[in-house]
Structure 1
Amino acid sequence: MDPNQQTPQETVVAPVAPLLEDQLELDMKHCFENLIVIDVGANLTNKKYSRDLDSVVQRARDAGVQKLMVHGTSVKSSKEALRLSRIYPDIIYSTAGIHPHDSKSIVEEPATWFDLEHIAQAQECVAIGPCGLDYQRDFSEPDAQKQIFAKQLQLAIRLNKPLLIHERSAQLDLLEILDKFENLPPVIIRGFMGTAEEALKYLERRFYISLTGYLCKDKSDTGVRRLLEDGTLPLDRLLVETDAPFMYPNTRASKLPQHVKTGITERSLLYLHRYCTFQRNEPCSLPAIVEMIAAFMKKSPDEVALATAFNALKLFGLS
């Protein structure tokens, strides 16, 4: 193929002249009926959204994202996530957490923990976390991670709010800590990137698992794709998130099966390729992720969208 020749997909997502912007929006609204989806993980406190957050939220709603959960991963971002939930009521909900990478900040400044507790008590804050263990990087020592993780488990139990857990290369230690606590609220393993065997250990404990655009990167025979293809991950344990601005779902990835690529609607591709990039993913990419999951599971996108939205509404008490 001539390297200068555009593929049909590229034609769909080519830049549009500013004068045609309104027409594009109109066309997109009538292109397909929206899936109704809920993004349980978007990092909208990230500075990449500082100039156009209103537009980002509106695009998400236009794409069919009914509600967004903005994660707090430190005291500062938890406070900002709560502020956003009050600026965009009934659309944005917040979480309050100390990410494993940030654990040392609480160890070094213990008084800041009380700020997090105060934020977590707000009605708009619907979950504790992301918290957990991450041994892939050494931003915080394992002992500090374990200490702050345990404090957040205690907080979630006391407030009876669901737990969002981040885990990388630390499953044994994580499960050992979790097993020490009784009366845990619902647990969500967010942005899962592990193996099917690891997922089974979570599912045996009746934990929920959320998936992201990492599906496009997973090339293993034992990972996330296998979970979906062989039915290991049931719909009643599944949630979806974009992890925006991260985890851009590269629907053009060479290892993505053709039946998955063709399962993504034109409408979802328009939002994805016009507004999202590797440098800045947006919540409006969520319908494309749901359609990919549905294709892997050999289910209809409507079925996956409905199940994951129901799970989110039930778990987090979203109104």
Structure 2
Amino acid sequence: NYILVDVCANLVNKKYSRDLDAVVQRAKDAGVKKMLVVGTSAHSTKEALRLTRMFPGTLYCTAGIHPHDAKSWDDDTLRLLREVASNPECVGIGECGLDFNKNFSPPEVQLEVLHRQVALACELKKPLVLHERDAFAPMLAVLEKYADRLPPTVVHCFTGTSEQALKYVAMGFYIGVTGYLWKDKGPLREALRGVPTERLLLETDSPFLCPNPRAARLGESLKSVPSPRALGLVERYCSFQRNEPCSLPATLELCAALLGLEPHDLALRTTYNALSLFGLD
């Protein structure tokens, strides 16, 4: 069995409201010993902290406002994030960033809210968890203003190009890889090969981004990658409607195959990265 850390699981999502105990236990049985429940709004940040109290030592949380929710920022938001972040179970600031793909919040509002959260992470010296879609250059422009005092930083759910990955790595950032890796298009697999393993993290982004080891255009060599156990966990418990942290071994195994590594070796490296980055026990 692997020992893994899922650095982004949206377990506050209502899709887990009826069976969260079983979801967490399945993850642990699959080797996912610790999970980070990310805050994406004022409500989910408070809920994420509450969940960590229900599963001490297994669930940890972050405090943040997702770019989709940036328009909800008000006078109380910074106080709330600071309050939640003062708890030992809260190990990071985010998920914050820029999403110019959907623009559910106006771009100028997203930029202002990102600035505030990056400044908070710098002040509290808590790791920063970033979200970026179609906003690479403006995001970099914000981060470079804080370059001399940025805490450890994670680019969550990276889906970009080799060039973007190399730029992030050059800035000392960590790259989070999800089940998106199973998609049979886009530059992510090539980009992954340029990321040193000491900068790699694994995540499910549950309930989103379910791995699809049977994708029609995957190619036979990749279809044979997942072990029967990892494949069984995905097929029995996960779907495009609801991914679970127990799917993480499948993404680990594909990642390892693409990098030419043994899955157990990559599990050790990425778990060490997560434990040391977030200061987990």
Question: TM-score band, normalised by the shorter chain?
Answer: over 0.9
TM-score, reference length from structure 1: 0.86
One-letter identity of the residue aligned with 2:154: I
Residue of structure 1 in register with 2:206 after alignment: 244
Query: Alpha-carbon deviation of 1:203?
Result: 1.2
Query: Alpha-carbon deviation of 1:55?
Result: 0.2
Residue aligned with 2:35, SS:
strand
What is the distance in 2 between the residues matched to 1:58 and 1:240?
19
Alignment of 1:158-173 (within 5 A): 158-173=123-138
Query: Alpha-carbon deviation of 1:216?
Result: 1.4
Residue of structure 2 in register with 1:177 after alignment: 142
Which of 150, 159, 163 lines up with 1:193 in the alignment? Answer: 159
RMSD: 1.0
Q: Which runs of 5+ in 2 are unaligned?
A: none
Residue of structure 1 in register with 2:57 after alignment: 90
What is the distance in 1 between the residues matched to 2:241 and 2:131?
22
Paired residues of 1:72 and 1:98 also in contact (CA < 8 A): yes
Paired residues of 1:82 and 1:124 also in contact (CA < 8 A): yes
Residue aligned with 2:213, SS:
coil
- 1:152 has 2:117 as partner: yes
Residue aligned with 2:24, SS:
helix
What is the distance in 2 between the residues matched to 1:116 and 1:179?
23
- 1:207 has 2:173 as partner: yes
Residue of structure 2 in register with 1:295 after alignment: 257
Alignment of 1:202-241 (within 5 A): 202-220=168-186, 223-228=187-192, 231-241=193-203
Q: Deviations over 1:257-314 (max 9, x none)?
A: 3222212111111111000011000000000110011111111101111110000000
Query: Alpha-carbon deviation of 1:144?
Result: 0.6
Percent of residue pairs identical: 53
One-letter identity of the residue aligned with 2:212: N
Q: Deviations over 1:172-196 (max 9, x none)?
A: 1111111111311011101001111
Residue of structure 2 in register with 1:31 after alignment: none
Residue of structure 2 in register with 1:57 after alignment: 24
Query: Alpha-carbon deviation of 1:218?
Result: 4.4
One-letter identity of the residue aligned with 2:194: T
One-letter identity of the residue aligned with 1:68: M
Residue aligned with 2:269, SS:
helix
- Runs ≥4 in structure 1, deviation > 3 angstroms? none
Paired residues of 1:132 and 1:167 also in contact (CA < 8 A): yes
Residue of structure 1 in register with 2:91 after alignment: 126
What is the distance in 1 between the residues matched to 2:103 and 2:118?
22
Query: Alpha-carbon deviation of 1:255?
Result: 2.5
Residue aligned with 2:34, SS:
strand
- 1:265 has 2:232 as partner: no
Residue aligned with 1:110, SS:
coil
Query: Alpha-carbon deviation of 1:113?
Result: 2.5
Q: How many residues align?
A: 280
Query: Alpha-carbon deviation of 1:99?
Result: 0.3
Residue aligned with 2:98, SS:
strand
Paired residues of 1:261 and 1:292 also in contact (CA < 8 A): no
Query: Alpha-carbon deviation of 1:114?
Result: 1.1
Residue of structure 1 in register with 2:241 after alignment: 279
Residue of structure 2 in register with 1:253 after alignment: 215
Paired residues of 2:68 and 2:104 also in contact (CA < 8 A): yes
What is the distance in 2 between the residues matched to 1:250 and 1:192?
17
Residue of structure 2 in register with 1:46 after alignment: 13
Paired residues of 1:164 and 1:190 also in contact (CA < 8 A): yes
Query: Alpha-carbon deviation of 1:39?
Result: 0.3
Q: Deviations over 1:40-94 (max 9, x none)?
A: 0000000000000000000000011010000110111010000111110000000
Compare CA radii of gyration and give the structure with the larger one.
1
Paired residues of 2:184 and 2:215 also in contact (CA < 8 A): no
What is the distance in 2 between the residues matched to 1:266 and 1:215?
19
What is the distance in 2 between the residues matched to 1:131 and 1:257?
35
